[in-house]
Amino acid sequence: MEDTLEFAKGMHAGKPQLSLALRLIQNTGVMKRHIVQPIEETLRHPGLEERNRIFEVESKKRCPAVVQQALANAQLTEQDIDAIIFVSCTGFLMPSLTAWLINTMGFRSNTRQIPIAQLGCAAGGAAINRAHDFCTAYPDSNVLIVSSELCSLCYQPEDDGVGSLLSDGLFGDAVAAAVVRGSGGVGVALERNASYLIPHTEDWISYAVRSTGFHFQLDKRVPGTMEPLAPVLRDLAMDNGWDVAQLDFYIIHAGGPRILSDLSYYLGIDNDMFRHSWRTLTEHGNIASAVVLDALRRLFEENELTPGAAGMIAGFGPGITAEMSVGRWSVDVTSAVNGVLHAVSAYH
């Protein structure tokens, strides 16, 4: 954070909104972030073509390791995977990185490819939900989720609005992978998922696509979106016969401290129940679609859940969109519930 504040003071010295932006950055709670380039390179803009080249090179360099770790944790091989969901909102490849992964890492040629590019931070939750849907339709299938979010490649040095300056101090880079097994394994046995769009908010989180690339736009009303979304989360839990305030674990997108604190308040949940998301935010910043995967990694590593423990996963992003799911912690290798999410691994 100290480095971020110093760079912001130097880059935007004399701007009237700078003092407000610095206070907002200090209030993010983000103490550390990881970026794929030295900060001096990040602060320069070599053009959209070069940035997208870096996105491709760095994604191909870093994703295989997390994929291999996720497969090992799931006790599966590349040949066991029936679909790959690749999510990112910070670079563009066509064909998707799914094709490169299939050709390079030995996945079957008939592996389904499901790229998700335009759901932003909600894409982590969406990937889990689409994997759950796939395993429900094809019960013996296994789905690999891969996230590559190199948010620093979207830095725009000429953008000096408060929203842009705040985002410059909030977002970090990460790659992550997870496996959803159709049956067996250890992890969250997914039971139900849902999506919700807050009407007429599609311009609250958006990209302006210009010759210089993606310019992140954030409306000042975004931090207040947990008030209308809290009832949606409550209803999803209720549809599964649960009280949302009485669950055993919560994996929530850490878009910023206001998101987590407001959701805690509106749902009547102790703030410590969001500890995995808070730690992701503090140690890595907002890492977009990878947040829920990193928070899930922490849940696995904490290793305190007993079989049958109930919980919720929720990602929020442009739209304003919420992608939510509920499930139980399972250690039953013969579980009949379709969609056991486990083997989460994130490297930053």
Tell me if 299 is assigned to some domain. Answer: yes
The total number of structural domains in the chain stands at: 2
Give the C-alpha separation, 41 to 291, whole Å.
25
* CATH at residue 265: 3.40.47.10
Average pLDDT over residues 208-229: 90
Domain contains 347: no
Per-residue pLDDT of 12-25, as tens digits, reads 788 888 888 888 88
Indicate if 151 belongs to the active site.
no
The verdict on residue 6 lying in a domain is: yes
**What does pLDDT average to over the chain?**
92
Please say which residue of 129, 164, 181 terminates a domain: 181
Q: Are 299 and 328 in contact (CB under 8 A)?
A: no
**What is the Cα–Cα distance from 178 to 147, expressed in whole angstroms?**
9
Whether residue 170 is found in the same domain as residue 300: no
Q: What is the spatial distance between Cα 314 and Cα 195, in angstroms, rounded to a whole number?
A: 10
Tell me the pLDDT tens digit for each residue of 96-117: 999 999 999 999 999 999 999 9
Query: 174: closest CA among 76, 73, 83, 292?
Result: 292
Q: Are residues 168 and 203 in the same domain?
A: no
What is the pLDDT at residue 338? 52
Say if residues 93 and 53 touch (Cβ distance below 8 Å): no
The verdict on residue 348 lying in a domain is no
Q: Between 17 and 42, where is the model more confident? A: 42
**DSSP characters over 58-84:** HHHHHHHHHHHHHHHHTT--GGG--EE
Mean pLDDT value of segment 159-165: 79
Say whether pLDDT at 186 is over 70.
yes
Q: Which of 181, 205, 229 is the last residue of a domain?
A: 181
> What is the DSSP code (8-state) at residue 263?
H
Instruction: Reply yes or no on whether the pLDDT at 337 is more than 60.
Output: no
Q: How far apart are CA 124 and CA 18, in angstroms?
A: 32
Give the range of the structural domain holding residue 174, as residue numbers without chain letter: 2-181
Which residue in the list 63, 121, 151, 154 is annotated as catalytic?
Answer: 121
Q: For residue 345, tell me if it sits in a domain.
A: no
Domain end (from 138, 165, 181): 181
Residue-level pLDDT at 339: 56
- Kindly report, residue by residue over 136-150, the tens digit of the pLDDT: 999 999 999 999 999
Q: What are phi and psi of 35, to 5 degrees?
A: -135, 155
Three-state secondary structure call for residue 212: coil
The lowest-confidence range among 162-166, 185-189, 279-283 is 162-166
Query: Considering the domain boundaries, does residue 243 fall inside one?
Result: yes
Residues 20 and 166 in one domain: yes
pLDDT digits (tens, 9 = 90+) for 56-87: 999 999 999 999 999 999 999 999 999 999 99
pLDDT attached to residue 258: 92
Residue range 227-253, pLDDT digits in tens: 999 999 999 999 999 999 999 999 999
pLDDT at 162: 76
Of 122, 123, 124, 103, which is closest to residue 113 (Cα–Cα)?
A: 103
Residue 37 and residue 319 in contact, taking contact as beta carbons nearer than 8 Å: no
What's the pLDDT at 341? 64
- Statement to judge: residues 103 and 230 lie in one domain: no
User: How far is Cα 321 from Cα 5, in angstroms, rounded to an integer?
Assistant: 31
Residue-level pLDDT at 290: 97
- Do 250 and 311 meet the contact criterion of CB atoms below 8 Å apart? yes
